[in-house]
Amino acid sequence: MAEALVSLAVLLAGLAFLLALWRFLAGPTAADRVVAFDVMTVIGISFIVILALLEGRGIYLDAALVYALLSFLGVIAVARYLERGY
């Protein structure tokens, strides 16, 4: 039962990644692409957690921890670039 629900969760996470990837490829401005990049990072964290559950290895969660800590750095760099030009 729980295995089937986790498999469904993998499928839904893939669908969400696909939708965000569409916005990344089609977004009219650079800021739209930055939003899609941020959303894809969050979906990636979620996917890493599901992967750790499927493989049964808790060490995989450290990569999700690094992403949760560092994902805002890139967005802040882009925002500074857009705002002030450096």
Partner 1 sequence: MAGLLDIVGGLLMVGGTAFLVFGGLGLVRMPDLFNRIHAGTKATTLGTLLTLAGAACLRPDWGWKLLLIAVFILSTNPLSAQVLARAAHRIGAAMSVKTRVDRLEEDQGA
Partner 2 sequence: MILTAMTLFLCAAMIGAALFAVLGRSLPIAILAAGLVSLVASILFLVMAAPDVAMTEAAIGSGLTTFLFFFVLGRVRRGEND
Q: Is 59 exposed, middle or buried (0-12, 13-18, 19+ CB in 10 A)?
A: exposed
Q: Which is nearer to partner 2, 1 or 7 (CB)?
A: 7
Min CB(81)–partner 2 separation in Å: 5
If binding is defined by CB under 8 A, does position 65 make contact with partner 1? yes
Contact in structure between 43 and 13 (CB atoms under 8 Å): yes
Binding mask 18-57 for partner 1 (x = CB under 8 A): xxx-xx-----x-xx-xxx-xx--xx-xx--xx-xx----
Rounded-to-integer distance, Cα 73 and Cα 78, Å: 9
Residue entry with tokens 């030009």: 85
Min CB(63)–partner 1 separation in Å: 10
If binding is defined by CB under 8 A, does position 15 make contact with partner 1? yes
